[in-house]
Every structure is written in C-alpha cells, then in structure tokens.
Structure 1
Amino acid sequence: MFRKILIANRGEIACRVIKSARKIGIATVAIYSDADRDALHVRMADEAVRIGRPPANQSYIVIDNVMRAIRETGAEAVHPGYGFLSENAKFAEALEREGVAFIGPPKGAIEAMGDKITSKKIAMEANVSTVPGYMGLIGDADEAVKIAGEIGYPVMIKASAGGGGKGMRIAWNDQETREGFQSSKNEAASSFGDDRIFIEKFVTKPRHIEIQVLGDTHGNCVYLNERECSIQRRNQKVVEEAPSPFLDAAIRKAMGEQAVALAKAVGYCSAGTVEFIVDGERNFYFLEMNTRLQVEHPVTELITGVDLVEQMIRVAAGEKLPFGQKDIGINGWAIENRVYAEDPYRGFLPSIGRLSRYRPPAEIATADHVVRNDTGVYEGGEISMYYDPMIAKLCTWAPTRAQAIEHMRVALDSFEIEGIGHNLPFLSAVMDHPKFISGDMTTAFIAEEYPDGFSGVDLPQEALRRVVAATAAMHRVAEIRRTRVSGRMDNHERRVGTDWVVIAQNQRFPVAIRADRGGATVEFGDGTIHRVESDWTPGDPLATLDVDGAPLVLKVGKITAGFRVRTRGAALDVRIYTPRIAELAALMPEKLPPDTSRMLLCPMPGKLVAVAVIEGDEVQEGQALATIEAMKMENVLRAEKKVRVTKINAAPGDSLAVDQIIMEFE
C-alpha cells in the first residue's frame, strides 16, 4: 500500500480524498494556487505545495507544476479528483514516466473514453445504444448550422473534451446553433485547453441516469447500480439520487451489464461512470463515459456501503476487488443536493465573497438515517471567482425515498450560509415540488417548472400557519426578554400581552398565546390551535421547534416588530403587532423599488468578454447584448424588450461588480 499520495485537485473533492486516505493510514499532500492558500484542503493535508497563480490554467491544470510538487514531496501516487487533470491522458502518461501511480484508469482508457467522439464510436462497435449525431470534428459555425439542420432540431452542442456542463449548449434553431457553437468553443478552450466540438440529437423528455462501475487490474469489473441525475441547470447536475425512481430491475440490469461491457472493452480499472439518456419508454442511449470519480458518488456509497475512494486507492495499489456483482445490493435511498454559490433570485448567477457564516447541519450516521456533508469551505473562507461555485454536497439516506426527502428538507432548513448568494432556497423548493416527490422529472425540470426563474416560494396555508404559530410564540419569548432587560416591571410575563396580529405573506392572523412551562398554545381567530415547543433563545439565528409534534426549522433574523424567516424555500418578513398597531400599520404606504428597466446591470462579478451592440442600435427582445465570464462559464445577457442603446459604460476585458451599469437604454 502507498505511504503518501498527492491530491491533484482542490476544494470539496480534495477534502473527500484526504478523509479516505487518512482512514487507511496514508499521508496526503495538497496542492494549492495563491487563491487557495488558506483553503480547507490545505489545512487538512499533511503537506501542501504552492503550484501557481489563481487561474486554473496557471496552476491546477499545469502538468509541470503538479509534477514538481510530486517530486518535492516524494508522493508515490496521485488521486486527480474530478475536473482539472482527472481525464487528461498526458498527465497519466507523465506520472507513468515518473514511476508514480495514477489513482484512476489506464492511459488508454482515458484516451478512448475521455474523448466523447471516440467513445461514441467505441460504444457503437460494442453494440451499446447511442444517440444519433455527427461524430466528426466541426470547423466553424456555418458547418455547425449545416450539420444541425441535417440531424434535426433540437441538437446538443458539446465539447469533445468537456465535462461538468462546460462547453455544452442546446440549440433549437440556426441562430442558437451559431451562438452556441462559439460559446462552447470558448468555454472548452478555457476549461480544458481543447476547443473541439461535436453535435448530437437532443432527446426530448430525457432522464439522465448513470451507472457506476468499478474495476480492478485483475479483470474484475462490477456495476454499483444507478444514479438519477435529471434535475440539472445549464446541463450541470443539481440534485442526484440513488437508486432512480424510474428504473425497474430489468432495465437496471441491462444498463449495468452494458456499462460493464463497455468498461471491459477498453480495459478499464478504477471507478468510472457510464452515463445514459433514458426516454419516457425506458429506452436508454449511451451518452458518455467519465473516466474518473463523479461529483455525485456519495449517494452510491450510501446505498451500497462501498467507499469508492478507498477502492480506487486499493485498485491502484494492485489489490483485487473484495466483492463480486452478486454482493452489490441496494440498501435504502440516498439523495444529494449540490449547494452552490449561486443566487437563484438572479437567474442562478455565480456569487463570490466571504462566508461570514457557514454552519452546515450536524452530520449523523444511525441505522435510521444519515446526514452527510462533503465540503471544502469553512466559516470566514472565501468563495473565489476562479473556480467552480460549489460549496458543499449535502446528502441524506433513509430506508425509503420519502424518508430521505424529509430528512433532506430538515437538513436544508438547518444549513446556515451568510455573506454570499446561495441556492439553498431553490433546493428546498425542489424537495417540496410535486414532480420531484412523485419521481416524474426530466432534464428539463428546471426550465419547465421555473420558466421565469426562481422567485421564491409562497408557503401553502398549512405550512404558513405553522410558521405563524412558531413566530408568535418566539415573539412572546423575545418580548419577555426585552421587558426583563429594561427592568421596567417585576412581573415581566404579565407585562407581555396575549393578543397579537401576525402579518405574513400578505395575510393577517389574529392570535392569542397561552404559555406554560413546556411551551405555548397559539389559538388563531378561527379557533384553530397549534402547540409550539422550543428552547429557542432571542438572538439565535436558527430556531429548531416542534409544532404539533412535527419538527420545524427556521432561519431567523430580527426586523422591526418581527422576524425575517427562511424555511422550505420561502423567505418572508413576519410582522407581529398588537391589535391597535396592526390597524395603523395597514394604513402605511408601500415603498416601491427603484426603476432600473432602462439599464443593463451586471448580474454577477465577472469579466466582460464581449459587447454585441453599439450606441444607437435598436435591439429586439431576446437579442444578445453582452457576454460575462465568471467561474469558467460564459453568460449571455439579452434584451428583455425592444429598446435603443443610448450609452455603453464598459468595454471588453473590464472586470465588473454586481449591479454595475454595462449600458443604458432610451
């Protein structure tokens, strides 16, 4: 077994590898760029080596820099994580020349499967179902438009060396093909140093289901069931689960056997994933093979009990797999939510900055349920503009899917993040969405269910009343504390009234509160009664309550005469008044937000890559205005209506802040 391994990656996955290595007694080496000098993976590793400036193409994907770190530390093996150099055959070859083990598949398998065009040809030769498309290289946008027309819209434009949603676009017409081709080439060149593009048919109503495979160097290969990854945004997975609620045992077996056959065809060993597109009739088509560990591997670990990272290390050290296909079962259900530094209220645009508060839910591992949080950040740390915006992977496991979902709801509500925009409210909304609950979803879930973007959640009446009852009881506790601090009266509880009006979600709820040593009974004006119990203390940002025997978790902020409350994807101001003040408050005018309709504001921190118009141009609704690059993704900003450009305030190459004015309209 190895004595020391180097992790050629950063963030969450580097921390994850360090944990498994530590478990089997292996020392670890971290590498870091200047932006990651104080990162969590650097703190966790036994050693750390600086490898360059913040941009990945000056640090993490510079093979010479990584090799220098290996030589300096005497590492015997390298785990590449995912992304960066994980599917780079030249890196695997450099390690082989150095006599250092690559904790991944052979170079030949990376070359065969890492290139999507080549992998599709091999899959076809191995009689694996494949999606129709053009497997040759495409020279320019005109050729892309011609090919797309021959295949038939819609089509998927993809980077041959791509992954993680980078360099990928769906096009429904010639204009989108032309624009998508160039953006895909730019992203591919920036992220992978390879701008080759191919085009394939986009399967409508598709589900994205992948099979985890694991092989050793002794000819053994197994599949560890499937993962459902259909909830995606910009072709980037957001929610994953294992097993899939859509597959039956026969389809699972057929997909698994095809995945293993493909792996064996290229002499595959280590952990890898064969991805399929599955239509509504359960017909499945090979999409690609990822010759590395997947981001969503924890859900597979949770239902199989197999530590995939540990097995990757053992396979690289020459050990045989300790189990066969008959030993792989499905135990319970697991769900993973990717927590991103993205603002769902601003079109999921990346957010950067300091984590002024980062308190994930407590990790739990019992026979009844598991809460697991794989992360690479900490409170006070920075979310950088240079790398992927993922903060954490929050996972839950339980014997049934419904139980796993419920544990995830509570875990999301308990997750505290402040200082940056994040997608926790959106994830909570997905967990409560009827289509997700039923398992009836496709890769178009977000586009179909949130066509105008995510603007928050209005709680249903039953849930809203539970929040009203909870905040009313909390307000009473806060009022008692306030009167004690003021010292104005000895009998503090008598000073605090029992009748209040709670205003939440534009509704008024008259309530009466009767308190006792165990909690409070809140009676609504219509006679409905809720029992609230909690040990919440005024000032605590997280309130864990019991309402009518069921848990309720609220993120709480103080506002005038009430609370700012976030729960189950909703963010609402809850005002609590005496009956008389409630009457007066109803007469107050509503403050309107400023009008920015005549401006194009930068929606995220990033670099202005291109401006598509000039002053004086008349633009149509949907026309491209500018392109912003942030966190390795290009974002095209489009006109929301027909307008005339009167002033352009920024030029390509400028670094822009959030809400900085890019251009103005007549």
Structure 2
Amino acid sequence: MFKKILIANRGEIACRVIKTAQRMGIKTVAVYSDADRNALHVNMADEAVHIGPPQANQSYIVIDRIMDAVRQTGAEAVHPGYGFLSENPKFAEALKAAGVAFIGPPKGAIEAMGDKITSKKIAQEAGVSTVPGHMGLIEDADEAIKISGQIGYPVMLKASAGGGGKGMRIAWDESEVREGFQASKNEAASSFGDDRMFIEKFVTQPRHIEIQILCDQHGNGVYLGERECSIQRRNQKVVEEAPSPFLDEATRKSMGEQSLALAHAVGYASAGTVEFIVDGDRNFYFLEMNTRLQVEHPVTELITGVDLVEHMIRVAYGETLSFGQDDVKLNGWAMESRLYAEDPYRGFLPSIGRLTRYRPPLETPEYQPGVTPSAPVVRNDTGVFEGGEISMYYDPMIAKLCTWAPTRGDAIQGMRDALDGFEVEGIGHNLPFLSAVMDHPKFIAGEMTTAFIAEEFPDGFNGVALPELHLKRIAAACAAMHRIAEIRRTRVSGRMDNHERVVGTDWVVTMGEHRFETSIVADRDGADVTIDGEILRCESAWTPGDQLARIAVSGEVIVLKVGKITQGFRIRTRGADLQVKVRTPRQAELAALMPEKLPPDTSKLLLCPMPGLIVRVEVVEGDVVQEGQALAVVEAMKMENILRAEKRGIVIKINAGPGDSLAVDDIILEFE
C-alpha cells in the first residue's frame, strides 16, 4: 500500500480524504495557498506545502505547482478531491509521467467523460438514454440563439468542462440565451480555464438522480445505489439523500446497469458518478459522468457501509474490488444538507468573514468498512473551525451535515435536530433555509423536482412562519429561561441589600404580532408555565449565557439558539429568527405605546449585496434605466451576479468601477 499521498485540494474534501488515509496508516501531504495558510486541512496533514497566491488559477489549479509539491515530499500518489484538477487529463498525464499514481480514473476516461459533448456521444453508443441537444461547440451568442430555436425552449446552456453548477444557465427565450451565454462562458473560463459551450433541451418537471459506481483496474465494477439531488438552486445541489424516494427497484437496476456499461466502454477504474434526469414516469436520460468523487458521496457511504475514498486508494494501488454487486445492500436512509456561506435573506448571495462561533452538532459513531449503521448517525464533513476565515476566493460550501436512520422520516427528523443544534456566527449562512426545506410538505412527501426551490420560494427566502402551537412552546420556554435569568441577576455579587429581589410569576411574551400571557410556578426540576389555561411543563439544564438550549416542553424537546437582547431573547429554531420579548404586564402595556422605528430609505441607491469584485458597470451617468435592466456585475466566490434595477430611474452618480472590491451595502450607483 502507498506510504504517502498528497491531496491536491482544500477545505472539507481534503480533510475527509486525510481521515481515511490516517485510518489506513498512510501519511498525508496538504497543499495550501496564501489564503489557506492556517486552514484545517493544513493542520490535519502530516506535511504541508505552500503553492501560491489565493486565486485558484495561480495555486490550486496550476499543475506545475502541485507537481513541485509532489517532488518535494516524495508522495507516491495524489488524490485530487473534487473540482480544481480532479477532472483534468493533463494532470493525470503529468503524474503518470512522473511515476506517481493518480487516485482517480485513467486519463482516457477523464477525457472521454470530462467533455460533456464527447461523453454524450459515447453514452449513446453504449446504449445509454440521452437528452436531445446540440452536440457541437457553439461559437457565439448568435449561433446559440439559432440552435436554441431549433431545439425548442427552454434550453440549458452548459460549459463543456463545467461542473458544480458553474457555467450553467436555463434560458426560456432569445434574450436569456444572449445574456446567459456570455455569463456562462465567463464563469467557465474563470473556474475551469475552458469557455467552450453546448446546449441541450431542458427537461421540465425533472428529478436529478445519480448512480454511484466503483470499478477496479481488472474489469470489475459495481453500482452502489442512487442519490436524489433534486433540491437545487442555480443548478447547485443543496440537499441530497440516498436512496431516492422516487425510484423503484427495476428503475434502479436499469440505471445502475447502464451506468456500468458506460464505465466499461471507457475503461473506467475508480469511483465515479453517472448523473441522470428522471421525469415523472421514471424515464431517465443521461446528463453527464463525473470522473471523480462527488460532494454528496457521504450519503452513499452511510447506506452501504462502503468507504469510497478507501476503495479509490486501493484501486489506484492496483487491488481488485473485494466485493461484487450481490454484496451491495442498501440499508436505511441518509440525508445531506450543504452548509453554505451565503445569506438566504439577501437572495442567497455569498457571505465572507470570520467564524466567530462554529459549533457543529456532536457527531455519533458511524459506519465501519463493510458494516452498515445500526443506530441514528450524525456526520459532519467540514474544513473550517471557529475563528477561521471564510474567503471570497473559493466555493462557499463550508460543511456537509449528514444524518442516517432506519427510515426516511427518522433521517429527516434527525436532520431537523442537527440543524437546530448547529451554531454558526460571524457570517451569513443558509441553516435557516435548510431547516425550512426539512419541514416543507412536498419534501417530506418526497414530491420534489429540480424546480423545487424556484417554485416553493419564488420570492426568495424570508424566514419561516412557525405554527401557533410551536410558538406557544417557544413562549413557555422563553418565559422559563427569563425567570432563571432574573433569579441569576438578583444574586449578582456586590448588591447593597441582604435580601434577594422577588422574581415575579406573571410575564407577557411577544413575538412580532403574537402575544402570550404566561404564569409560572417553579420547582427544583423545572417550571409549569400556564398559557391560555394550558399548563406546559418546561425542563432544561439551560443557564444564563448558554447559546444553545435543549428544553423539554410537555415532553417534547425543542432546540433553541439563544441570544440575549433587551427585555428578552433572540431565538433561532426550525428556520425561524425571532425577537422574543419577555416583559412584566406593565412593561408590555407601555411597550405597546412606543412608536415603531422605520428603516432608512435606500430606494434611490444600488447597494452591493455581498462582498465582491465589480466586473462591469453596464450604465453611465445620465442613463435612464428601466425595471429589470442590468446595472452592474459583481463576482464573488467564483460566481458572477447581475444586479438589476428594481424600478425606472436616472443614474446621477457612479461610485464604483471594474476592479473595485466592495463590502456589503457599499454604494455602487445613485439615482435621481
């Protein structure tokens, strides 16, 4: 077996590969840019090599820099993770020429499957069902419009070398093709150094389901079931699960066998994923093959007990697969939620900054190789730590939270609890949105397509409105916590009197327009909180200052993130962000008379919605702009974001230009 491997990647995937290598007794080498000097993967590895500036195209995707690191450390093999150089045949070729093993498929398979146009032709020849589309490269927007008209709208614009949602756009008419084509080319060039584009028919009401395969160098191969990846935003997966709640065994078998046929057609060896679009009648169409480890691979590991990274290493070393298709058993259900550094309240725009608090839920013992779990599991694959910096240079995903349970319902409930217990402060993040998905009726029923987010959250995400029963439980919990905090406050050292102030029993709890009058009777083990004649028993070990509270309210445990505010708490739970005021009846009476503070008027300003770099300003001073017109383009975390006019206006001042780095709410344009 290899004695030392280098991981040509960063973040959570580098950490995940290091964990398996350590378990196998293999030494590891990390590489890092200036931005990652203090990163978690650097600290976890046995050795680390600096490879350049923060920009990926000057560090992580520069083959010569990685090869230098290989030579310096004497690594015998390289695991590329995903993204960066993972599907670059020139990198695999460079490693082979240097006598270093590539922990991935052969160069020929990468070339054949890495190019989406070539891969579709091979898939057709191998008998795999494919989506109608234009198989040749498109030179410019005019040609793209012509081809799109021939295929029929809607169409999908795709970068040939793309992946991870980069360089992809859905276009419903000519104007969207013209605008989206150039934006996709720019993203593809920035992310992959390859701006070639192609177009295919966009299948409406689709589900995104993929098959995990594993092949060795001796002609053996297995498929490890499927993953449902339909919860997507801007073609970027957000929630994945295994197995799919939609497939039946016959469809699963057919998709798996076709995936292996494609793999054998290109001499594939290693872990890989064949992605399909599946319609409502379970007709499936080949989308692409990812010749690497997928981001969502943990859910497959949790339901099969197979450590995919370990087998990738063993295959690269030349070993034969130790099991066959009949040995693959799917056990239970697994969920994965991607934690992104993005602000769902600002249209999911990227967020950067320091993690002032990062406390994932406690992980539980999971699988051993070859053994599926037998108890509820929480797993968190991450590459960050409390106090670390979230950079603008890389993908915004900072963790993958996974749960496993015997049934889908139990896995969802486990995910709800884990999300509620995940503490992240200092940056915008999508934890509230993930919680909202877990509680959505369509998701619970397994009735979702890739349009789920666009259809169910058409106006973006504005928080969750919790049902009255849940609000009542929160009110009881907050009243009980407030009483504990008040008792603590009366016992602060240094008081002049010798008597503790009596803490009242009656409190008014308000949450926006909701008002609950409460009365508390406490004992040593908890408190009975009466609301509308109903007694809610509250029991908890919470003490003032704790930022996470687990409170049993009438026997049901609720998990609350707790922040102190004047006269109450900021409570975050199940996707809701609540300002909970706990006042005496007299204080509540007076508070109702206070005028409401209005937010400042920013309607005549174009504010930068995220930290980023101005790529273009599309207007000049004096221009009359119309609603929906493009005003500026801001790049952040490898994505271009077009800022549009919300209403008609006249540009009177431009405060920023191409190349300027802006913070959130910096003024770009001013209107008359």
TM bin (shorter chain): over 0.9
Counterpart of 1:563 in structure 2 is 569
1:641 equivalent to 2:647? Answer yes
**Cα separation, 1, equivalents of 2:566 and 2:70:** 57
Shift of 1:241: 0.3
Q: Which moved more, 1:644-653 or 1:16-25?
A: 644-653
What is aligned with 1:505? Answer: 512
Aligned equivalents of 1:163, 1:96: Cα separation in 2:
24
Matched with 2:378 is: 371
Alignment of 1:179-258 (within 5 A): 179-258=179-258
Contact 1:483 1:489 in 2 (8 A): no
Q: Does 1:321 align with 2:321?
A: yes
Kindly report which structure 2 residues correspond to 1:344-359, keeping only aligned pairs within 5 A, or say none.
344-359=344-359
Aligned-partner Cα distance in 1 for 2:556–2:306: 33
Contact residue 15 and residue 376 of structure 1 kept, 8 A: yes
Amino acid at match of 1:16: R
Q: Does residue 615 in structure 1 map to residue 618 in structure 2?
A: no
**Please, which of 629, 642, 648 is the counterpart of residue 635 of structure 2?**
629
Q: Once the 2 structures are TM-superposed, how far is the Cα of residue 78 of structure 1 from its aligned partner?
A: 0.2
2:412 is the counterpart of 1:405:
yes
How far apart are the structure 1 equivalents of 2:515 and 2:400?
38
Alignment match, 1:259: 259
Q: Does 1:590 align with 2:596?
A: yes
- Residue equivalent to 2:26: 26
Q: Contact between 1:29 and 1:75, CA under 8 Å: does it hold in 2? A: yes
TM superposition shift of 1:489: 6.4
Query: 2:369 is matched with which residue?
Result: none
SS in 1 for 2:492: helix
Query: 3-state SS of the aligned residue for 1:22?
Result: helix
Question: How far apart in 1 are the matches of 2:360 and 2:568?
Answer: 25
- SS state at 1:177 partner: helix
The superposition leaves residues 292-348 of structure 1 with CA deviations (integer Å, 9 ceiling, x where unpaired) of: 000000000000000000000001011111111011111100000000100000010
Q: Deviations over 1:258-317 (max 9, x none)?
A: 111111111111000000001111111000000000000000000000000000000101
Distance 1:573 1:132 in 2: 51
Compute the displacement of 1:365 (Å).
Answer: 2.4
- Counting only pairs closer than 5 Å after superposition, residues 453-602 of structure 1 correspond to structure 2 as 453-485=460-492, 487=495, 492=500, 495-524=502-531, 526-602=532-608
CA drift at 1:620: 1.7
Unaligned runs of 5+ in 2: 367-373
Deviation at 1:645, TM superposition (A): 1.6
Question: For each residue in 1:197-235, what CA deviation from the matched residue of structure 2 results, as whole angstroms up to 9, or x when unmatched?
Answer: 000001001110000000001111100000000001110
Structure 2 residue identity aligned to 1:46: D
**Residue 188 (structure 1) shift:** 0.5
Q: Specify the SS of the correspondent of 1:402.
A: helix
Alignment of 1:292-441 (within 5 A): 292-365=292-365, 367-441=374-448
Which deviates the most, 505-514 or 272-281?
505-514
Question: How far apart are the structure 1 equivalents of 2:528 and 2:201?
Answer: 59
Partners in 2 of 1:402 and 1:547 — Cα distance? Answer: 22
Amino acid at match of 1:407: G
* Letter aligned with residue 53 of structure 1: P
CA positional deviation for 1:491: 6.3
Distance (whole Å) between structure 1 residues aligned to residue 288 and residue 60 of structure 2: 24
Which residue number corresponds to residue 371 of structure 2?
none
Match of 1:65 in 2: 65
Q: Is it true that 1:281 corresponds to 2:287 in the alignment? A: no
Higher mean displacement: 482-491 or 345-354: 482-491
Query: Letter of the aligned partner of 1:396 in structure 2?
Result: T
After superposition, residues 104-183 of structure 1 pair within 5 angstroms as 104-183=104-183
Higher mean alpha-carbon deviation, 82-91 vs 482-491, is at 482-491
Structure 2-normalised TM-score? 0.98
Q: Is the 8 A contact 1:155 1:171 kept in 2?
A: yes
For residues 598-623 of structure 1, give each alpha carbon's deviation from its aligned partner in whole angstroms, at most 9, with x where no partner exists: 11100111111111112222222211
Larger deviation: 232-241 or 609-618?
609-618
Mapped partners of 2:365, 2:554: distance in 1: 26
Distance across 1 between alignment mates of 2:362 and 2:666: 38
1:654 aligns with 2:654: no
Contact kept in structure 2, 1:458 and 1:505, CA below 8 Å = no
SS in 2 for 1:13: helix
1:131-188 per-position Cα deviation (integer Å, ceiling 9, x unaligned)? 1100101000100111111111110000000000000001111111001100111010
Q: Within 2, Cα distance between the matches of 1:123 and 1:240?
A: 25
Q: Give the Cα separation in 2 of the matches to 1:243 and 1:551.
A: 28
Letter in 2 for 1:143: E
For residues 222 and 473 of structure 1, do their structure 2 counterparts lie closer, same or farther at Cα, with a shift above 3 Å needed?
same
1:5-29 CA deviation, whole Å, 9 max, x = no partner? 0000000000000000000100000
Q: Which amino acid in structure 2 is aligned with residue 378 of structure 1?
A: F
* Distance of 1:184 and 1:286 partners within structure 2: 22
The percentage of aligned residue pairs carrying the same residue is 78
Which consecutive segments of 4 or more residues in structure 1 shift more than 2 A? 365-368, 486-492
Residue 368 of structure 1 deviates from its aligned partner by 2.2
* 1:256, distance to aligned residue in structure 2 (A): 0.7
TM-superposition CA deviations, 1:410-436 (whole Å, max 9, x none): 111111111111111111111111111
- Gapped runs of 5+ residues in structure 1? none
Per-residue deviation, 1:66: 0.2
Q: CA deviation at 1:507?
A: 1.1
For residue 505 of structure 1, report the CA deviation from its aligned partner. 3.2
Aligned residue for 2:163, secondary structure, equals coil
1:269 is matched with which residue?
269
Cα separation, 1, equivalents of 2:512 and 2:204: 37
Q: How many pairs does the alignment contain? A: 664
Instruction: Give 3-state SS (helix, strand or coil) of 1:160's partner.
Output: strand
Instruction: Give the superposed CA RMSD.
Output: 1.0
Partners of 2:496 and 2:143 in 1: CA distance: 81
User: 1:148 and 1:613 mapped to 2: Cα distance?
Assistant: 29
TM-score (norm 1): 0.99
Q: CA deviation at 1:488?
A: 6.5
User: Does the CA-based 8 Å contact 1:335-1:397 persist in structure 2?
Assistant: yes
Once residues 545 and 105 of structure 1 are traced to their aligned partners in structure 2, the CA distance between those partners, rounded to angstroms, is 50
Q: Distance in 1 between matches of 2:661 and 2:297?
A: 36
Helix, strand or coil at the partner of 1:162: strand
Q: Which amino acid aligns with 1:566?
A: R
The answer to whether the 8 A contact 1:29-1:48 is kept is: yes
Aligned amino acid, residue 288 of structure 1: E
Within the alignment, does 1:451 sit opposite 2:458 as a pair? yes
